[in-house]
């Protein structure tokens, strides 16, 4: 059926939007997680919502799977294509439709780059708050699908807290609108279901987001500690004191080494950990909070505290932190970016446990994290050419187990995608997974929208793997046995 679909697309769409050439298709074989690769059957470079509706309609007609792709920076293989499927790329849908300071809203196409929205909003005195470290390249459509977070989500919340409306091409090819400008629409929160659904419920073709007023004052503090334990104590003290920084980020010695090698941010020499805290708001409030943070860092053992003197110094501090993933490439030929969550109070315990797991396996782990949210990003370093891949993957998996053992979760912001679906069963039981599947089937009964992602066992609507006989637990639990 894919052949027929390709013939239709070649006939009906401009040639520059339809990619069938093998070499060109290879460009799209993976997202930011390059350990999984698959050459797509067809790539469509959509330029409008109508293009997306046309292609998805064809997929529904022929029963062909489709996968949406924004900028391809995802780190969980969410946009991993299929040889028997169509990859719908939205990066040409990059129009900022409106920026309205009266309503404090912007309407954008899904291919708009995260940082471009803030650039467009700044002259109006506003910005877009969720700021993934990939914000210079990742798309708003991808952010919506992954419910992306970033350094400033501690105070301002994740993508889910900023999206008020969506236009979506549904898996049957119809176009629907959910939510709008209002903060709390009537009825079921369908926008809430779509944000974070990792492209499994439809293709987002327009996004309405909340804009946040640019703060009157901002102060960025950099504190150097001898150990990650001391830095973790500082974070706990700051939060316990009732100070709510816009961001609190931590990096350990190895991550500092990598950042210094790559972008020379000038972090304190000899530090076992650095803490970056940002305070924003009215000047008097920021001054008071700054004094608190400096005092609390000192009490926790900071040996050097620096406040960014100007915008250049502030940008350099953040450059060190935001380029940390890529910077690790300077100190290791290969690495895995892990993403897990733990309660803030378990920070020291889990970090020590990670250190032990890494030492046992003879693997180095650099730690970068959104400490305020308890969102860890351990970077497991290895050298594929020396046959270390398996050991590194083992360490990476054990880190996820540690997060779960300490009451955390398998992903903070990078999503489940293809990579983490096998961990889903560690966190959710079969009933939980079946309920999620019910939601998915309500949107996509044919199972053609980004299939094979999120769920540990491939299942279609109406199918229950391994459950040919007996009473289904959903029925036992009193939930209608409807799929
Ligand atoms: C160096 C680096 C740093 C990063 N830092 C962060 C960070 O701080 N915080 C964070 O949250 N993430 C981070 N990420 C991960 C990634 O950038 C985010 O997940 C981002 O939101 C992905 O956007 P994208 O446009 O690249 O999406 P893609 O990778 O193209 O796709 C991601 C998922 O979204 C789906 N999708 C894309 N567009 C649509 C659409 N229009 N409709 C429906 N589904 C769609 C895809 O099917 C896929 O499942 C980082 C990645 C890198 C490489």
> What would the pLDDT profile of 154-167 be if each residue is shown by its tens digit?
999 999 999 999 99
Q: Residue 311: what pLDDT?
A: 93
Q: Is 458 or 300 the better-scoring residue by pLDDT?
A: 300
Q: Which of 81, 129, 145 to mutate to test the pocket of ligand 1 (most atoms within 8 A of CB)?
A: 145
Q: How far is the CA of 280 from the centre of ligand 1 (A)?
A: 27
Indicate whether this model's pTM tops 0.85.
Answer: yes
Regarding the beta carbon of 245 and ligand 1, being less than 6 Å apart is answered no
Regarding the beta carbon of 326 and ligand 1, being less than 6 Å apart is answered yes
> What percent of the chain clears pLDDT 90, i.e. is strictly above it?
85
Q: How far is the CA of 203 from the centre of ligand 1 (A)?
A: 14
pLDDT in tens, 275-293: 999 999 999 999 999 999 9
Across the chain, mean pLDDT equals 93
For 297-310, what is the mean pLDDT?
96
Regarding the beta carbon of 65 and ligand 1, being less than 6 Å apart is answered no
**Nearest-atom index, ligand 1, CA of 140:** 25
Give the DSSP per-residue string, 3-42. HHHHHHHHHHS-GGGEE--HHHHHTTS--S-TTS----SE
pLDDT(117) > 90: yes
List the single range of 224-233, 377-386, 455-464, 468-477 with lowest mean pLDDT: 468-477
pLDDT in tens, 93-105: 999 999 999 999 9
Q: Which of 146, 318, 335 to mutate to test the pocket of ligand 1 (most atoms within 8 A of CB)?
A: 146
Q: Give kind and range of the element (H or E) at residue 219.
A: strand 217-225
Regarding the beta carbon of 76 and ligand 1, being less than 6 Å apart is answered no
- With bands split at pLDDT 50, 70 and 90, how would you rate the model's confidence at 481? very low
pLDDT in tens, 416-469: 999 999 999 999 999 999 999 999 999 999 999 999 999 987 666 655 555 444
Regarding the beta carbon of 81 and ligand 1, being less than 6 Å apart is answered no
Q: Residue 451: what pLDDT?
A: 95
Q: Residue 463: what pLDDT?
A: 58
pLDDT in tens, 387-416: 999 999 999 999 999 999 999 999 999 999
- With bands split at pLDDT 50, 70 and 90, how would you rate the model's confidence at 372? confident
Alpha-carbon torsion (139, 175, 7, 14), positive or negative = negative
For 17-44, what is the mean pLDDT?
96
For 26-41, what is the mean pLDDT?
95
pLDDT(215) > 80: yes
pLDDT(476) > 70: no
Quick one: residue 319, left, alpha or beta (phi over 0 = left, psi -120 to 50 = alpha)? alpha
Q: Residue 123: what pLDDT?
A: 97
**Nearest-atom index, ligand 1, CA of 90:** 41
Task: Domains for the chain: give ranges and CATH numbers.
Answer: 2-89 (3.30.43.10), 96-213 (3.30.465.10), 217-326 (3.30.70.2190), 332-405 (3.30.70.2740), 421-476 (no CATH)
Q: Residue 184: what pLDDT?
A: 83
**Nearest-atom index, ligand 1, CA of 91:** 25
Nearest-CA residue for atom 34 of ligand 1:
142
Q: How far is the CA of 204 from the centre of ligand 1 (A)?
A: 13
Nearest-CA residue for atom 36 of ligand 1:
142
Regarding the beta carbon of 90 and ligand 1, being less than 6 Å apart is answered yes
Q: Residue 479: what pLDDT?
A: 46
Q: How far is the CA of 480 from the centre of ligand 1 (A)?
A: 35
Instruction: Calculate the CA 57 to chain-centre distance.
Output: 28
Instruction: Calculate the CA 423 to chain-centre distance.
Output: 17
Q: Residue 324: what pLDDT?
A: 87
pLDDT in tens, 342-359: 998 888 899 999 999 999
Regarding the beta carbon of 72 and ligand 1, being less than 6 Å apart is answered yes
Nearest-CA residue for atom 52 of ligand 1:
134
* Burial of 92 (C-beta count, 10 Å sphere; 0-12/13-18/19+): middle
Q: How far is the CA of 346 from the centre of ligand 1 (A)?
A: 28
For 293-305, what is the mean pLDDT?
97
Q: Residue 122: what pLDDT?
A: 97
Nearest-CA residue for atom 53 of ligand 1:
73
Helix runs in 268-346, H state only: 283-299, 311-322, 324-327
Q: How far is the CA of 182 from the centre of ligand 1 (A)?
A: 26
Q: How far is the CA of 320 from the centre of ligand 1 (A)?
A: 21
Q: Give kind and range of the element (H or E) at residue 358.
A: helix 347-361
For 307-322, what is the mean pLDDT?
93
């Amino acid at each position: 059926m894919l052949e027929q679909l390709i013939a239709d697309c070649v006939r009906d769409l401009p040639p520059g939007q339809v990619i069938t050439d093998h070499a060109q298709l290879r460009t799209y074989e993976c997202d930011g997680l390059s350990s999984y690769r698959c050459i797509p059957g067809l790539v469509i470079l959509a330029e409008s919502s109508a293009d997306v509706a046309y292609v998805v309609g064809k997929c529904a007609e022929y029963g062909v799977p489709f996968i949406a792709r924004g900028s391809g920076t995802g780190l969980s293989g969410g946009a991993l294509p299929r040889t028997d499927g169509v990859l719908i790329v939205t990066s040409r849908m990059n129009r900022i439709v409106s920026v309205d300071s009266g309503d404090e809203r912007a309407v954008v196409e899904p291919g708009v780059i995260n940082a471009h929205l803030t650039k467009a909003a700044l002259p109006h005195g506003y910005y877009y708050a969720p700021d993934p470290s990939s914000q210079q390249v990742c798309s708003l459509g991808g952010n919506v699908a992954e419910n992306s977070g970033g350094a400033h989500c501690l105070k301002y919340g994740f993508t889910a807290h900023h999206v008020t409306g969506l236009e979506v091409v549904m898996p049957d090819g119809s176009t629907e609108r959910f939510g709008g400008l209002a903060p709390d629409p009537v009825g079921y929160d369908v926008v809430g279901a779509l944000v974070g659904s990792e492209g499994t419920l439809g293709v987002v073709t327009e996004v309405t987001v909340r804009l946040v007023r640019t703060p009157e004052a901002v102060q960025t503090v950099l504190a150097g500690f001898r150990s990650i334990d001391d830095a973790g104590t500082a974070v706990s003290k700051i939060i316990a004191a009732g100070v709510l920084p816009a961001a609190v980020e931590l990096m350990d010695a190895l991550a500092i080494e990598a950042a210094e090698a790559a972008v020379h941010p000038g972090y304190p020499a000899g530090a076992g950990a650095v803490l970056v805290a940002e305070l924003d708001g009215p000047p008097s409030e920021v001054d008071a909070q700054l004094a608190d943070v400096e005092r609390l860092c000192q009490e926790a053992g900071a040996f050097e505290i620096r406040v960014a003197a100007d915008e250049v110094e502030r940008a350099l501090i953040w450059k060190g932190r935001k380029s940390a993933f890529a910077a690790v490439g300077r100190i290791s030929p290969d690495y895995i970016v892990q993403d897990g969550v733990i309660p803030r109070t378990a920070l020291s315990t889990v970090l020590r446990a990670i250190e032990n797991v890494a030492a046992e396996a003879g693997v180095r782990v650099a730690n970068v994290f959104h400490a305020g949210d308890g969102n860890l990003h351990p970077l497991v370093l290895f050298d594929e050419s020396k046959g270390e891949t398996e050991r590194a993957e083992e360490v990476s998996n054990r880190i996820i187990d540690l997060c779960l053992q300490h009451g955390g979760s398998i992903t903070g912001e990078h999503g489940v995608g293809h990579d983490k679906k096998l961990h889903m069963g560690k966190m959710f039981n079969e009933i939980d997974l079946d309920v999620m599947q019910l939601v998915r089937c309500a949107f996509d009964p044919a199972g053609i929208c980004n299939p094979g992602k999120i769920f540990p066992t491939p299942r279609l609507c109406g199918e229950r793997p391994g459950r040919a006989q007996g009473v289904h637990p959903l029925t036992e639990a009193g939930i209608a046995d409807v799929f």
